[in-house]
Amino acid sequence: MPVYAAYGSNMDPAQMAQRAPHSPMRGTGWLQGWRLTFGGADVGWEGALATIVEDAGEHVFVVLYDVPEWDEQTLDHWEGASLGLYRRVRLRVQTLEGEVVAWFHVLDDYEGGLPAARYLGIISDAAEKAGAPDDYVKELRSRPCTSLGS
5 is in an annotated binding site: yes
Q: Return the domain boundaries, the chain.
A: 3-137
82 is in an annotated binding site: no
CATH architecture of 3-137: Roll (3.10)
Q: Higher pLDDT residue, 43 or 16?
A: 16
Element (H, E) at 103: strand 98-107
8 is in an annotated binding site: yes
Examine the pLDDT at 113 and tell me if it is beyond 70: yes
Examine the pLDDT at 103 and tell me if it is beyond 90: yes
Rounded (10°) CA dihedral 122, 1, 35, 127: 30
pLDDT in tens, 29-77: 999 999 999 998 887 668 899 999 999 999 999 999 999 988 988 888 8
**77: Cβ contacts below 8 Å, ≥ 6 apart:** none
**Mean local confidence (pLDDT), 106-131:** 95
Annotated catalytic residue, options 54, 58, 72, 79: 79
Active-site residue, 72 included: no
